[in-house]
Copies of this chain bind each other. A is one copy, B any other.
Amino acid sequence: MINPHFSTKERILSAAEDLFAKSGFAGASLRQVTSAANVNLAAVNYHFGSKENLINELFKRRLDDLTAARMAALDKVRSSRQATLEQVLEAFVQPALSLASERGGSSFVRLLARAFAEHDQRLRRFVSDNYGHVLKEFAKVIAQLLPNLPKDALYWRLDFVSGALTYAMSDFGMIKKPAGVTDEQHRRTAAEHFVRFAAAGLRAP
């Protein structure tokens, strides 16, 4: 399961990603993590200091890249003459899609969904402090594309969009994929359906 050629630190991160995605942060113990990673129990505290810090590092490892890719995609859309709502949504989803295709990425996507569902103050704060500005930028661009939509309606709809995306992505790799379809195709299909749905919902009268 866990590739023995990676360093102890990376093996811990990968095992933790899988187990926390499956059982939750409180539900999976460091003993389970180190056992799955084929690593000694004490290694977690040596490399990360504490369970809480291990969780933070887990998010940092993936989110730094994800937010950078999203901002790059948004800037590209912005600089085009006539940006559409669909393009902005695509710029938001596509990087998450690529992430989900990386090694262990699909576990992380589920972990992210879990972090949002858990109204854990500490974790939410960490995510919003470090990566909240990206969401604000997307919201700003979307607001410009929907100039007639009242602000409160916009915020509600952006919340619905986040919810729809979170839930759909957290199901990646679960039950829904039909047989004979590659993961890649499945994610591409999901993204297309999502963009159509979200754009129409945002444009509702």
A residues whose Cβ falls under 8 Å from a Cβ of B: 21-27, 110, 113-114, 116-120, 153, 155-157, 159-168, 170-171, 174, 176, 189-190, 193-194, 196-205
Contact = CB atoms under 8 A, between A and B. Distances in A.
Contacts of A163: 163-168
Contact of A197 (B117, B166, B204): B204
Given A116-B167, A200-B201, 15 more contacts: A23-B26, A110-B119, A117-B118, A155-B176, A156-B189, A156-B193, A156-B197, A160-B194, A163-B168, A164-B164, A164-B167, A166-B167, A197-B201, A197-B202, A200-B200
A197 B113 contact: no
Q: Choose among A25, A162, A170, A201 the residue with the greatest number of B CB atoms under 10 Å from its CB.
A: A201
18 contacts: A24-B26, A24-B27, A117-B167, A156-B197, A159-B168, A160-B164, A160-B165, A160-B198, A163-B163, A163-B168, A164-B167, A166-B167, A197-B201, A197-B202, A199-B204, A200-B200, A200-B203, A200-B205
A204 B200 contact: yes
A170 B201 contact: no
B117 A160 contact: no
Nearest to A161: B164
The count of identical subunits is 2
Given A26-B26, A27-B26, A117-B114, A162 B157 contact: no
A161 B165 CA distance: 10
Nearest to A178: B152
A201 to B, nearest CB: 4
Closest 4 CB pairs of A and B: A163-B167, A117-B117, A200-B204, A201-B201
A24 B114 CA distance: 11
Contact of A157 (B156, B193, B202, B205): B193
Nearest to A164: B160
A171 B118 CA distance: 11
